[in-house]
């Protein structure tokens, strides 16, 4: 696996914190974004990362920090790629924040695996609503379940009152506190109140996109203000040095310029928004000129040699996409000219003949591939995937609430990396390749280039 950016040589040190929880829905994203916003407002350079293949939480972290947010996953990226991203971030940042995924020990590999591999201090965020003494048991379990886990402390979330906060603090065992010089307890870093003013709204795939909420920054500022009243929020730059981590330099890596002189058009708007910044970096490292357009705004397809239709929320914008005649005509002409198209998950859905929404209404779509897509009331597939392409193995994941029925015979199948997953079909017709598979281009840049080159190239 290779990293598209030229790595800096020499180890780099930077304060770093991994924000974790005992389960999903505890408030990891809110706390990570609040920390990023608080320190960015104070003039510090903050880099935020997200564990796992999530697309949605990074939108909030990018808004809070004002900087691109990359994903870190020992399986998806590979250890070398993770090391390169952390090393590069440490060289130009005052603080690195990493949001975990699900619960601290969930998944293979888990957030705990990543923390131990790179020595990242762990901050546990626990939803304390409806509990008192059990809070201390959770802290003790998270801290001691695995020997050698770097530990920063715990932050209680959704706390009812100051009295409730004192009960929670007292529940933490003395051997989990470990008072440090300066009076800060390693076990207790404060409490955030239960307050709807800074709740981050959700829908079926996760958090609502920050760009869709006119008060998104106000919510982040309210979160940052609340965090500023905690011991964690009151730490100055010198206080953060207790969590400084030394990130070793990766081995030099290079990416062949297989897309030199080629233009790749990328759909990007509220319907096509699941785009890893690292994927764009990889395309550019391969030599591609990347241009953007919005099918939702019915913009014409820019002059290009290849097209990428990334995932997103076509089901929320089905009527507008159905009426996007200019975009559809440009894509149809592109296909007729034999130019490559890579469409993944939500980017694949409008290419079929129809999309049936969750309420049963069928919306005619672009009809560039035969078949129908139907939204489901429950998650249809989730998990890591690998695709053995003719140019090498691409890694990625699948996460979708729709199912597709098509007379097309798949030209390939992905392989689930988990015993609980199932393969995903890769459909092909002419120059179009389409699948529910979300590719992490940096996992194999040469294989990724193949998605945007004519088959004979």
pLDDT per 10-residue tile (average), the chain, 457 residues: 50 96 93 96 97 90 95 95 96 97 93 97 95 94 94 94 94 64 62 75 50 76 94 93 93 90 97 96 98 98 98 94 97 98 97 95 96 92 93 95 95 92 94 97 97 84
Region of 148 on the Ramachandran plot (φ > 0 left; ψ -120 to 50 alpha; else beta): left
- If we measure between CA atoms, which residue out of 9, 8, 96, 6 comes closest to residue 44? 96
In the Cβ-directed half-sphere of 230, how many Cα atoms lie within 13 Å?
27
Q: Which CATH architecture has domain 263-450?
A: 3-Layer(aba) Sandwich (3.40)
Strands (DSSP E) contained in 144-262 are: 151-159, 188-193, 202-203, 206-207, 244-247
Nearest to 389, CA basis, from 448, 456, 305 = 448
pLDDT of residue 179: 42
pLDDT value at residue 10: 81
Domain with CATH 3.40.50.880 in the chain: 263-450
Euclidean distance between CA atoms 258 and 273, whole angstroms? 26
Distance from the first to the final alpha carbon of the chain: 22
Q: Cβ(19)–Cβ(97) under 8 Å?
A: yes
Select which of 51, 169, 273, 345 is catalytic. Answer: 345
Residues 6+ apart with CB under 8 A from 92: 45, 47
Q: In degrees rounded to 5, what are phi and psi of residue 220?
A: -65, -40
Q: Where in the chain is the domain with CATH 3.40.50.300?
A: 12-247
261: left (phi over 0), alpha (psi -120 to 50) or beta: left
Residue whose token pair is 């923390």: 115
Angle CA(105)–CA(108)–CA(110) in degrees, nearest 5? 35
> Quick one: which H or E segment has residue 117?
helix 111-118
Residue 345 among the catalytic residues: yes
Sign of the CA dihedral with 285 first, then 288, 290, and 295 last = negative
Distances (CA, A) of 78 to 73, 174, 341: 7, 38, 27
Assigned CATH for 12-247: 3.40.50.300
Query: Quick one: CA torsion of 9, 11, 12, 17, rounded to 10 degrees?
Result: 130
Cβ–Cβ under 8 Å, residues 103 and 23: yes
């Amino acid at each position: 696996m290779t990293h598209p950016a030229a790595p800096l040589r020499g180890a780099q040190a930077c304060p770093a914190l991994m924000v974790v929880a005992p389960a999903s829905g505890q408030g990891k994203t809110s706390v990570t974004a609040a920390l990023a916003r608080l320190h960015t407002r104070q003039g510090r350079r903050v880099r935020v990362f997200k564990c796992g293949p999530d697309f949605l939480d990074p939108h909030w972290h990018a808004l809070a920090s004002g900087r691109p947010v990359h994903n870190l996953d020992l399986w998806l990226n590979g250890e070398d790629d993770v090391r390169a991203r952390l090393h590069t971030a440490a060289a130009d940042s005052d603080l690195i924040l990493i949001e975990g995924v699900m619960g601290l020990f969930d998944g293979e590999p888990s957030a705990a695996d990543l923390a131990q591999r790179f020595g990242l201090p762990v901050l546990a965020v626990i939803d304390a609503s409806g509990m008192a003494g059990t809070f201390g048991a959770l802290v003790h379990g998270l801290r001691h379940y695995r020997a050698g886990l770097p530990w920063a402390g715990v932050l209680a979330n959704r706390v009812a009152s100051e009295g409730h906060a004192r009960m929670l603090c007292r529940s933490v065992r003395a051997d989990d506190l470990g008072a440090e010089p300066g009076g800060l307890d390693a076990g207790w870093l404060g409490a955030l109140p239960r307050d709807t003013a800074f709740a981050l709204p959700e829908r079926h795939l996760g958090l609502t996109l920050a760009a869709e909420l006119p008060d998104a920054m106000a919510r982040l500022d309210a979160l940052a203000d609340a965090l500023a009243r905690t011991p964690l929020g009151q730490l100055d730059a010198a206080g953060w040095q207790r969590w400084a981590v030394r990130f070793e330099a990766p081995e030099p890596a290079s990416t062949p310029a297989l897309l030199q002189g080629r233009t790749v058009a990328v759909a990007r708007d509220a319907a096509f928004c699941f785009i890893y910044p690292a994927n764009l970096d990889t395309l550019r490292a391969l030599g591609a000129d990347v241009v953007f357009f919005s099918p939702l705004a019915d913009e014409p397809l820019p002059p290009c040699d290849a097209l990428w239709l990334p995932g997103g929320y076509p089901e929320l914008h089905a009527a507008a996409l159905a009426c996007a005649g200019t975009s559809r005509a440009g894509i149809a002409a592109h296909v007729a000219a034999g130019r490559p198209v890579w469409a993944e998950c939500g980017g694949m859905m409008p290419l079929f003949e129809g999309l049936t929404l969750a309420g049963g209404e069928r919306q005619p779509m672009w009809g560039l591939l035969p078949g129908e897509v139907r939204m489901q009331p429950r998650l249809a597939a989730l998990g890591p995937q690998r695709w053995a392409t003719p140019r090498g193995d691409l890694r990625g994941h699948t996460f979708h609430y729709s199912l597709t029925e098509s007379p097309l015979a798949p030209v390939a199948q992905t392989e689930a990396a988990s015993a609980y997953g199932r393969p995903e079909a890769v459909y092909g017709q002419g120059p179009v390749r389409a699948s529910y598979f979300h590719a992490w281009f940096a996992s194999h840049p040469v294989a990724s280039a193949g998605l945007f080159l004519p088959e004979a190239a």
